[in-house]
Amino acid sequence: MARYDLSAEIKKNEKLSDDVFLMTILAPEIARAARPGQFCMLSVNGNLRSDPLLRRPLSIFDSGDSGDISFLYKVTGRGTDILSQKKEGDSLDIIGPLGRGFRLDHSGPRILAGGGMGVAPLHFLAKRLEGAFSVILGAKTKGEILPVVKTFEASAERLLITTEDGSLGEKGLVTAMLEKELCLSKKNVLIHTCGPWPMMRAVHDLTVKFGTRCEASLEAGMACGIGACLGCAVKKTSGGYLHVCKDGPVTDSTEIDWEI
Amino acid sequence: MKKTTRVKMPQDQDISPDMSVDVGGLKLKNPVLLASGTCGYGVEIGDLIDLSALGGIVVKGLSLKPRQGNPPPRIAETPCGLLNSIGLENIGIEAFIRDKLPWLRKINTRVIVNILGNSQEEYASLARRIDGTDGIDAIEVNISCPNVLAGGLAIGADPNAAAGVTRAVKAATGLPVIVKLSPNVTDIVEIARAVTAAGADAISLINTPLGMAIDIDKRRPALGNVVGGLSGPAIKPIALRMVWQVAGAIDVPIIGIGGISSASDALEFLMAGASAIEVGTATLVKPSVAIDIIAGVRDYMKKNNFLRIDDLPIPRD
């Protein structure tokens, strides 16, 4: 699979809410090769400054024929803070597309269940999916997901929103809403999930209970993103570790030992 | 102490400097290698950079049997640095020779295999296995990883144990033997002298200094293994000091490692007395950095009229 190490131009870096940004980069090679669920390594500092040192892995929010590729991110530390200050016309080093994406060949119904910034890879998936699917989006508060709700409305057959504080949609957790959906859904449903670890663990538990399949897009601290450093290890149920950057980020949820 | 005579390039002539070096019998087209643990087995990075432009590649440390490595989290970022506790996860020597080496053989660059074991006999077995294998040009003996309980650092911190492993590996192979030293010792020169006396053809230094970070939100150590090895620009002054000290004390060639991220970093190590350098953590951040370093060193030599890499070290007397 082709992947590229480029210096690319930032076209937009929009502030969507207090701490959520959408960055669009012109990188036609990466945009053409990218598949839903894959990610890129973004250099926040340029090459000459060393603090913070590492690139940031961000999952692909959107990519298309225009040659643009975009990333939805929340400012959580120094790296994303520096990223948020980038302006249109700035250049940025980017490696991608990386990792294993979502399954696109499933013929049955699907449910996309995302929490917080976990909605980012699901957004790209929703744009590429053919046929009907449902989406459940969850967040702590509406500011986190309100900016992306509109784009899901266009593609999803059913869109369900939940926030922990009740500021948007139904008050509660993604998993409570998913359980209701699973009670209603037909057989052979495939769930695609991305979000905080406890949420994905709970989603996995539900899929075990309902006897259905689930793909989880994992997150882990990583240094290289290309399988060289082996830093992004996650424990497997079959023993040993898988590496999120090359064995994932999207993995069958039964492969993961969720009890950490 | 190595003495050098500077050879100046004739003026008014555009002569490209000779970048080749001989590191204890290992002949390299240029002095820039990728450091073990930061470039996988080559194939992981081979589509992003032209490996044949490099002096060589030191593959991920290999043991007799596969190793699973340490529990996550395995990495933590620190100011200008990276803490890791990978724990020497590797596929084992047989799988490397069977699955990875055929691909590496097609690349026109030197392949150095980094080996690790829990005993002298394990190191010797690895060296014997490698000795008859086509496509491997040298052995780097890892007696210095801070992330394993047995072997590793325990050997690297004891001059007798370090010398014993060196002797055992030398006896088991005709390939050049490079011994990689740990900075986690009181006197690096003492260890360097011990492995040199035991027959090391070259010394590489440094491996990672031992460090720690705490996640104050989770109120627990940031690494699953609690402690880990620090790498990146943060450790460059320590590494450079140790290369300088060892270069002043022993005669075998030195490969400098530690926070090298640019041509100027590499030149500092070459001037401190290193014959070659390994680029490690910088490759994780920018895969092509070693290629830039080669070009930068060449440019510096041309600009300053140096004909050979051996002309770069600073004369000490």
Q: How far apart are the CA of A228 and the nearest CA of chain B, in angstroms?
A: 4
Contacts of B86 in chain A (CB under 8 A): 229-231, 233
A interface with B, Cβ–Cβ < 8 A, is 2-3, 5, 43, 47-48, 50-55, 93, 95, 220-224, 226-235, 239-241, 246, 260
User: To probe the interface with A, which of B36, B41, B44, B230 has the most A CB atoms within 10 Å?
Assistant: B44
Contacts of A221 in chain B (CB under 8 A): 73-77
CB contact under 8 A, B45 and A241: no
Q: What is the pTM of this model?
A: 0.94
Distance (Å, whole) CA A43 – CA B24? 38
In terms of CA atoms, which chain A residue is nearest residue B34?
A: A228
Per-residue pLDDT at A151: 84
| Alpha carbon distances (Å) from B62 to B40, B115, B140 | 11, 5, 10
Please compute the mean of the pLDDT values over residues A176-180 and round it to a whole number. 93
Name the pLDDT band for A132 (thresholds 50, 70, 90). Answer: confident
In terms of CA atoms, which chain A residue is nearest residue B263?
A: A48
Q: How many residues are present in chain A?
A: 260
Per-residue pLDDT at B14: 64
Q: Please, are residues B279 and B289 in contact by the beta-carbon 8 Å criterion?
A: yes
Q: Is the pLDDT of residue A1 over 80?
A: no
CB contact under 8 A, A230 and B39: no
Distance (Å, whole) CA B153 – CA B184? 8
Given its phi and psi angles, is residue B87 left (phi above 0), alpha (psi -120 to 50 degrees) or beta?
left
Q: How far apart are the CA of A232 and the nearest CA of chain B, in angstroms?
A: 7
What tokens appear for B307 in the block?
């004909």
For chain A, the C-alpha Rg in angstroms (whole number) is 18
CB contact under 8 A, A229 and B77: no
Q: What is the 3-state secondary structure (H, E, C) of A65-82?
A: CCCEEEEEEECCCHHHHH
**Per-residue pLDDT reduced to its tens digit, A84-128:** 999 999 999 999 999 999 999 998 899 999 999 999 999 999 999
Bond preceding residue B206 cis, omega within 30 of 0: yes
How far is C-alpha B284 from the geometric centre of its chain's CA atoms?
15
Please compute the mean of the pLDDT values over residues A143-163 and round it to a whole number. 88
B202 residue type, one letter? A
In terms of CA atoms, which chain B residue is nearest residue A234?
A: B72
CB contact under 8 A, A53 and B45: no
Contacts of A52 in chain B (CB under 8 A): 77
CB contact under 8 A, B47 and A43: no
What tens-digit pLDDT sequence spans chain B (317 residues)? 444 455 555 555 567 899 999 999 999 999 999 999 999 999 999 999 999 999 999 999 999 999 999 999 999 999 999 999 999 999 999 999 999 999 999 999 999 999 999 889 999 999 999 998 999 999 999 997 655 545 456 788 899 999 999 999 999 999 999 999 999 999 999 999 999 999 999 999 999 999 999 999 999 999 999 999 999 999 999 999 999 999 999 999 999 999 999 999 999 999 999 999 999 999 999 999 999 999 999 999 999 999 999 999 999 87
Q: How far apart are the CA of A254 and the nearest CA of chain B, in angstroms?
A: 19
In sequence order, the 6+-apart residues with CB closer than 8 A to the CB of B100 are B41, B42, B43, B59, B91
- Please report the DSSP string for B292-312 in residue order: HHHHHHHHHHHHTTB-BGGG-
Q: Is the pLDDT of residue A145 over 90?
A: no
Per-residue pLDDT at B1: 43
In sequence order, the 6+-apart residues with CB closer than 8 A to the CB of A166 are none
Please compute the mean of the pLDDT values over residues A55-61 and round it to a whole number. 97
A67 residue type, one letter? G
Please list the active-site residues of B: 145
Write down the residue that tokens 């999952």 correspond to: A59
Any idea what DSSP says for residue B255? E
3 state DSSP class of B27:
strand
- Please report the DSSP string for B182-250 in residue order: PS-SS-HHHHHHHHHHTT-SEEEE--PPEEE-EETTTTEESSTTSEEEEESGGGHHHHHHHHHHHHTT-
In sequence order, the 6+-apart residues with CB closer than 8 A to the CB of A91 are A7, A8, A9, A10
In terms of CA atoms, which chain B residue is nearest residue A77?
A: B77
Please compute the mean of the pLDDT values over residues A183-198 and round it to a whole number. 90
Please compute the mean of the pLDDT values over residues A76-84 and round it to a whole number. 94
What tokens appear for A240 in the block?
């040993």
Distance (Å, whole) CA A172 – CA B312? 67
Write down the residue that tokens 């690139």 correspond to: A55
Please compute the mean of the pLDDT values over residues A42-65 and round it to a whole number. 88
Q: What is the 3-state secondary structure (H, E, C) of chain A?
A: CCCEEEEEEEEEEEECCCCEEEEEEECHHHHHHCCCCCEEEECCCCCCCCCCCCCEEEECCEECCCCEEEEEEECCCHHHHHHHCCCCCCEEEEEEEECECCCCCCCCCEEEEEEHHHHHHHHHHHHHCCCCEEEEEEECCHHHHHHHHHHHHHHCCEEEEEECCCCCCEECCHHHHHHHHHHHCCCCCEEEEECCHHHHHHHHHHHHHHCCEEEEECCCCCCCCCCCCCCCEEEECCCCEEECCCCCEEEEHHHECCCC
